[in-house]
Structure 1
């Protein structure tokens, strides 16, 4: 809320003690309690992420499975990115925030990028180099989140941040060769969802959760399912991955921009519909949202390991309708275990390390020589 809404008596007393003194001596604000709505959203979104990664194993020969795969890919990462943007609204580059960014995003990226490279060397690419600038498999999201969060203070000072981010994403979608260093094609094409999250306020989520909007969300998904089933044979999945430009998919820049715009609009509608249907109260699965990063980082080893070892090939009945349903249920169960508090505690040394020894105790930048 704006300070203008505070009583005059409070303003007359001056700033709170935690904000007194020079900016570099201010204390960080006290941690806020977790909102069960966003933990529920993260848990449900990570289930969809895993579903999108496991469905290719059984998608061959099933139009319905491919339609479900396409529908999931249309909004599951936009949901994750938008929620990440919303939860980054308070990022201003304070020392404690920078430490958290390094230990909670940068360090896990470095460690798991090496681990996934080893996995791919064991699997299908024995000569794959260690290349931290070209993220492997699911690791693109961590490096993208690192870049997006660093830019959060800049979006806060722009007058039209969403419009600017849309322009950047549109230009990226028609610029060939961007997916080289740090997966920049996906970083820029998903950027608008992050900025939308930054600009979203709590009242927007309250609006989404009103009963009429929830009814509309059910109708959106009820219509999206048959539409995707009808459209799936004619739409390449590459459009949903956002890893290459329109020209690299054989489409000129003008019609490519039109297709990207339509896809973006569909993703926004589906994302809003999904977030509208997320429960707002604490449930049995709410605490699992806090461990979604563990599920995200670990599930790729199981899926890629199963593919490289031929595990899925040993069970051809997984390609039957009953087998696909069973695979989906097992995937959800495994992801639930990977997000559980026990998994989070076991993985904390590599996903949420403290590393107090690596940082200055006072949180201030090291003093350097000034210009004479």
Structure 2
């Protein structure tokens, strides 16, 4: 099947923002502007990513489907959990050893949660769309009252972010095209700008509300935590829809990189953590900011390259098709040289 350029463009933009957000994170406390930009990005980049994952979900409940999911998601999770543990030790990161293999390193929570979302979908797909999304939001709100549901097993993020996955599952291409209407695009500009201004002038927002990995009490709010989470849900839906409205539908020279975002997602942590551990980067002025943009783009490009994808495919996709293709091409070239 021919890939849809719109979705590849969307994933490419979002993975760039993931890398960029992780790159600037150590510098947000010293700058109101950077803190605002960081928070603004985090209101939508993972919700939109999860929405797109749900859009392409199938939801079949047979045993082959579940086993295939485990092969694609749980096996790479366990492999990268071990690899990151060794890497953290190598670079001298203090929290390299965690209590359990199910306390996800870095951004590996996404693999475990994605597996769980597909399993939850088997049940939720039998419930009418509006009712199912409402139940998922209710669970996401209530889960914040339980202190023991946190980072371990990625349980908090699994339940809090699941409504976006379910919303993507029930969304059709025709509904996405509604976002492309000029009238909505105009409104989206106002909404995105208004939310940016609100973030700038409101008191500092604890990033834990956007990361969805902590309970309300650990975020410093108890009774009103549900209202805060509902506000985050509304903001994230508005921001995600507004950003997706501006994704171009035509193919560009780099659009194909959007099909390799999982490689960037899993591998960029090695680079980011090294930068953080060695304090190589500094963000003091606008030129530095532009440098961070360029570095983020280079990271995405390099980790999406054919060479990197071929090398890491056996661990990420449990496949050696690219390596086999490389060696077949090499053998063909050798045969041509010998026959010449």
1:200 maps to which residue?
171
Is the aligned partner of 1:105 residue 2:73?
Answer: yes
2:297 maps to which residue?
332
Is the aligned partner of 1:66 residue 2:51?
Answer: no
Q: Name structure 1 gaps, 5 residues minimum.
A: 1-31, 357-372
1:240 maps to which residue?
210
State which of 93, 97, 108 in structure 2 corresponds to 1:139: 108
Q: TM-score, normalised by structure 2?
A: 0.88
Distance in 2, Cα, partners of 1:153 & 1:351: 24
Quote the offset at 1:337 in angstroms: 2.1
Distance in 2, Cα, partners of 1:96 & 1:300: 31
After TM superposition, the structure 1 = structure 2 runs for residues 183-194 of structure 1, keeping only pairs within 5 Å, are 183-194=154-165
Distance in 1, Cα, partners of 2:65 & 2:266: 22
Question: 2:117·2:162 contact (CA, 8 Å) conserved in 1?
Answer: yes
Secondary structure class of the residue paired with 1:213: helix
Quote the offset at 1:94 in angstroms: 4.7
Q: Name structure 2 gaps, 5 residues minimum.
A: 322-340
Question: 1:291·1:341 contact (CA, 8 Å) conserved in 2?
Answer: no
After TM superposition, the structure 1 = structure 2 runs for residues 267-346 of structure 1, keeping only pairs within 5 Å, are 267-312=236-281, 316=282, 318-346=283-311
Is the aligned partner of 1:33 residue 2:2?
Answer: yes
Distance in 1, Cα, partners of 2:252 & 2:310: 21
Quote the offset at 1:293 in angstroms: 0.3
In structure 2, do the counterparts of structure 1 residues 294 and 106 end up closer, same or farther at CA, with 3 Å as the change threshold? Answer: same
Distance in 2, Cα, partners of 1:98 & 1:354: 18
In structure 2, do the counterparts of structure 1 residues 131 and 252 end up closer, same or farther at CA, with 3 Å as the change threshold? Answer: closer
2:195 maps to which residue?
224
The alignment covers a number of residue pairs equal to 318
Distance in 1, Cα, partners of 2:151 & 2:53: 24
Secondary structure class of the residue paired with 2:176: helix
Distance in 1, Cα, partners of 2:183 & 2:103: 44
Distance in 2, Cα, partners of 1:100 & 1:344: 20
Report the RMSD for the aligned CA atoms in angstroms. Answer: 2.0
Question: 1:288·1:341 contact (CA, 8 Å) conserved in 2?
Answer: no
Is the aligned partner of 1:150 residue 2:119?
Answer: yes
